[in-house]
Amino acid sequence: MKQYLIDELRHEDYEVLQNYFQDHFTPSGLDGLYWISLETDLLSATQRAHTDCQPHYFAVELQPDRISCEMLVRTSARVRCDCIAYADARQRDWILQVIDAVLEKLAINV
């Protein structure tokens, strides 16, 4: 699985991130796993056409020592569908910017 990984988080950074993620991202129902909805203008043509599958999102796992962001754009409506695909360059850059902006906003230096 392709992913963006930030490791060696300090315990105090984990707690701050956990609070931020709980307030700003959608919990998946599994501890430490959050969904970040992809902005509509970033959807591929297939993802845009699959209105029954929307919203599309990135899965981000927060663990005490790391943040792991999958580079797979998913849907909660189905397990398999043509609209589930690895992020294209614009989607990948967007999620990297989102995660990096959170770290910057919270003054977490990794």
Identify the pLDDT of residue 96: 96
Supply the pTM of this predicted model.
0.89
Domain ranges for the chain? 3-105
From the list 99, 82, 83, the residue with the least C-alpha distance to 3 is: 99
> Would you say residue 60 has pLDDT above 90?
yes
Tell me the C-alpha to C-alpha distance, in Å, between residue 57 and each of 9, 13, 36, 64.
Answer: 24, 24, 5, 23
Helices 11-24 and 89-105: angle between axes, nearest 10 degrees: 120
Identify the pLDDT of residue 34: 96
Mean pLDDT of the chain: 94
Cβ atoms 99, 73 nearer than 8 A:
no
Q: Where does 3-105 sit in CATH, by number?
A: 3.30.530
- For the stretch 10-23, pLDDT in tens is 999 999 999 999 99
- For the stretch 62-109, pLDDT in tens is 999 999 999 999 998 888 999 999 999 999 999 999 999 999 999 998
